[in-house]
Structure 1
Amino acid sequence: MTFLETILNGLCLNIVMFLLFYASTAAENDDDASLVIKAKRGNREAFDVLLEKYYKKVYNLAYRYVGEQEEASDLTQEIFTAAFQNLRKFRGDSKFSTWLFQIATNRGKNRFKYLKRRGYFANKGQTENNDDRDEQQRIVPDYSTNPETLLAGKQVQRIVQKAIDELDPDHKEIVILRDIEGFSYEEIAQLLNLPEGTTKSRLHRARMVVKEKLKRVLS
């Protein structure tokens, strides 16, 4: 059985997503709370520590909304600027990372809509620059040195990425948050202000759409 056949015969898309979109997650710890308190008091160094800790994850999320390095960098800067300016409004009801990613998700959706209205994606092509994606994110982990397996993995990576890019915004953002960024259902529900059941059902539908696209392309 080939690598591609193994992918298609998988019992659940979660396994596929884990193989294709492995990403390390920064551990939440008690340091965040003390850093936030210091940052609220005007300590910019404390906020810079938080920025450094979460920059990569915020940038990756921003990149998934806009699909281009320069736009993603600008959006990431906008997100952290908004977080710093609104830090006094953070009451600690949720983790700092959840609050930060709520800002990132809202700003990401707004930037995506703005760029779409301007015809940005039609002009540049959100999924055409595969070299850009490969440089920014090593989505497929190196589980094998077998060239055939690695080549097949890269092919599937691009196909799945394209399928995700083509999802409608409501389903796309849930796939990004759950299967790529690794947020829990509870965290996603908080981020998107949705019931947890709605979050799960949207994710299931989105995964099925991606799975059907995979079947059509790889069969």
Structure 2
Amino acid sequence: MNGVQSKEHSTQNSTALVDDKLLLVQAAEGDRLAFDRLVMMYRNQILNLCVRMLGNYADGEDAAQDVFVNAYSHMKNFRGDSQVSTWLYRIAINTCKNRYSSWWGRLQKKVLRIGHPVHDSDSDDNLVELADMGMGADEVLERKRVNMKISSAIVSLPNNFKELIILRDIQEKSYEEISGIVGLPSGTVKSRLARARDALQKKLKEVCCE
């Protein structure tokens, strides 16, 4: 039974890969609807990555739009030797790095809570949702304060550390996927991620002692 399920899962994954690659081929041949379908497939993932990398929703949304504009302009360069998602993530990370290096001073002051869905702002709805889970007002505020400090610490990390923390610990990508996205061997990804986590822990100790 497990063997059958495994085969079905593998077939579904293969079909998904063929589908998005086929859409990209069709888009490169001038089918705009095919590209629109690709955007719909990956918009939330790319938006989430950009917001996490840049530290706020507005800049992340702008960056995500740039990602798909760049993808549309360069889709004929896609060789098909990687997943479409990996190709898009590479474009997204490079786009965010360029924006981040230009806007470092402003981005330092902006934070976004991690561990929750991406929102344009922290609304009272979030407080109500947590309160309904049995948390008191003080606990809700304390969790928000801690989450903001964690996000601030992540945003302040060097890009090569930050991207690994986001891809692995927030978006839960596999080491193989991350390796394809950042263009590094899995062993290098693991060792760099370990250093990134150490750096994040040091940052968190600093902000928690403030």
**TM superposition score category, shorter chain reference:** 0.7 to 0.9
User: Counterpart of 2:184 in 1: which secondary structure?
Assistant: coil
Distance in 2 of aligned mates of 1:175 and 1:128: 15
Q: How far apart in 2 are the matches of 1:193 and 1:33? A: 20
Shift of 1:149: 5.2
Distance in 1 between residues matched to 2:121 and 2:158, nearest whole Å: 20
| Structure with the higher helix share, 1 or 2 | 2
Give the gaps of 5 or more residues in structure 1: 1-26
Contact 2:154/2:162 (CA < 8 Å) preserved in 1?
yes
Q: Which residue in 1 is equivalent to 2:175?
A: 185
Which residue pairs with 1:84 in the alignment? 72
Q: 1:33 aligns with which of 21, 27, 42?
A: 21
TM-score by length of 2: 0.74
Equivalent position of 1:169 in the other structure? 159
Deviation at 1:39, TM superposition (A): 1.4
Deviation at 1:128, TM superposition (A): 8.4
Percent pairwise identity: 38
Instruction: Return the alpha-carbon distance in structure 1 between the equivalents of residues 159 and 197 of structure 2.
Output: 14
* Cα RMSD for the two superposed structures: 3.1
Larger Rg: 2
1:145 aligns with 2:134: yes
User: Does the C-alpha gap of structure 1 residues 94 and 129 become closer, same or farther in structure 2, counting only changes over 3 Å?
Assistant: closer
- Name which of 75, 82, 87 aligns with 1:94: 82
Per-residue CA shift, 1:170-212, capped at 9, x if unaligned?
1111101111222211221222122211111111122223334
Preserved CA contact (<8 Å) 2:58 2:120: no
Structure 2 unmatched ranges of 5 or more: 1-11
Secondary structure of 1:46 counterpart: helix
Q: Using the TM superposition, give the Cα deviation of residue 164 of structure 1 relative to its aligned residue in structure 2, in angstroms.
A: 1.0
Q: Which segments of structure 1 move beyond 6 Å, counting only runs of 4 or more?
A: 128-131
Aligned-residue offset at 1:37: 2.4
Q: Secondary structure at the match of 1:134?
A: coil
1:133 Cα deviation from its structure 2 partner:
5.3
TM-score when normalising by structure 1: 0.72
What is the deviation of 1:88?
Answer: 1.2
